[in-house]
Structure 1
Amino acid sequence: MIQGSHLRQEERDTLKKLKQMPIDSLNLEAISIATNLYRSAQRLRVKMETEVLSSYKLSWTAFSILYDLWVWGRLETRRLAELSGISTATASNVIKTLEKKNFCSKSVDPRDRRLVFVTITAEGKAAIEELYPEFYKGETKLIAGMTNEEQKTLAALLRKAADNLHTT
């Protein structure tokens, strides 16, 4: 059961309202976790897009794709979509935007023309290498005040939550 002392007033009020809903066996802990996870992710996204990514006019999704290309060098479009948690259609549109900025280039597999590979360009690499140190500062601010053990626990629990939603 959720203990009220560590909750923000807004969360206590929300949970109080939810308890009045005509739904059998509400799992208030699940609601609280999902709500806080969503709000944390949204705050991080807005902060990074406003304070860091705006200098290159990049969305969170565009940065995510550029980051994956920086790490892996060359990836197939479907894999990029999977890593970013977006549809292949959305990935294709974001890749077009990154291509216009000359941050990546596409090539078709000569053996299977349905496979499109995306590669980071020198300009894309320069952009991500300029952006990432500031982005990293935002990532570390997210976990400020947590012990190393708390960080490891949170990371493990978030992996477990993500695995619960993984569809094959």
Structure 2
Amino acid sequence: MHSFNEDGELLPEEIDTINRLTKIPIHSLNLDAILIATNIYRIAQGLRNKMEREVLSQYGLSWTAFSMLYDLWIWESIETKKLAQSAGVSKATISNITKTLEQKELCFRKSDIRDKRMTYVVLTDKGKQVMEELYPQFHKGEIEIVSGLSVEEQKSMETLLRRLIRENDF
């Protein structure tokens, strides 16, 4: 019923979680669901911290600013509402980060000609250049994160995570 490491043991954090939660009178406690969600969160936070510390800090970028630049690099121009959804933040946060990125001359805003209520964020040539320099370093970190898994394990995890994303509309 519990998640174990490769030696068949729970991780210390999982033991602490189980010890705390099994004392709570919850009738249908699903420890596997708790451990999966907790470990996904820990991996996401660890990835974010590693990349901010080892790669993004060199460019003066936060995780969210990088996420925005990445989306702009892929799509070149994107409406602020869609950008906020993609980054998982509010339009106000997108607005604040866009101001910072505009000061660095990495992007600019433009209004839709037909509908002035819609604003797009557009990647500049300098923004494209930064992403072309930055992304290989970022990708190296991605590879390091999963290097302890076999190719088969990586494919399996990729499939399962994609399924969770689809089923939960993330």
Q: TM-score range by the shorter chain?
A: over 0.9
1:3 Cα offset (Å): 5.0
SS state at 2:108 partner: strand
Unaligned stretches of 5+ in structure 2?
none
The answer on 1:121 being equivalent to 2:111 is no
Map of 1:38 onto structure 2: 41
> Comparing both chains, which one has the higher relative contact order based on Cα–Cα distances under 8 Å and sequence gaps of 6 or more?
1
1:131 counterpart = 2:134: yes
Q: Report whether the alignment pairs 1:61 with 2:64.
A: yes
RMSD (CA atoms): 1.4
Number of residues of Structure 1 aligned to a counterpart in Structure 2: 167
CA distance in 1, matches of 2:129, 2:138: 14
* Aligned amino acid, residue 64 of structure 1: S
CA contact (8 A) 2:107 2:124 kept: yes
Q: Structure 1 89/165 Cα, relative in aligned 2: closer, same or farther at 3 Å?
A: farther
Q: Deviations over 1:66-85 (max 9, x none)?
A: 01111111111111111111
Return closer, same or farther for 1:145/1:3 CA change in 2, 3 Å cut-off: closer
Under a length normalisation based on structure 1, what TM-score does the superposition of the two structures give?
0.93
Give the whole-Å Cα distance in 2 for the aligned partners of 1:55 and 1:11. 34
Amino acid at match of 1:55: Q
> For 1:1-168, what aligned pairs fall within 5 Å after superposition?
1-4=1-4, 5-166=8-169
Instruction: Report SS of the residue matched to 2:135.
Output: helix
Q: Partners of 1:3 and 1:139 in 2: how far apart?
A: 24
Output the CA distance in 1 between the equivalents of 2:57 and 2:140.
16
SS in 1 for 2:28: coil
Taking structure 2 as the reference length, the TM-score comes to: 0.92
CA gap of 1:47–1:130, structure 2 versus 1, over 3 A, is: same
Other structure's SS at 1:111 match:
coil
Deviation per residue, 1:82-137 (Å, 9 max, x gap): 11111112111111111111000111011100111111111111111111111101
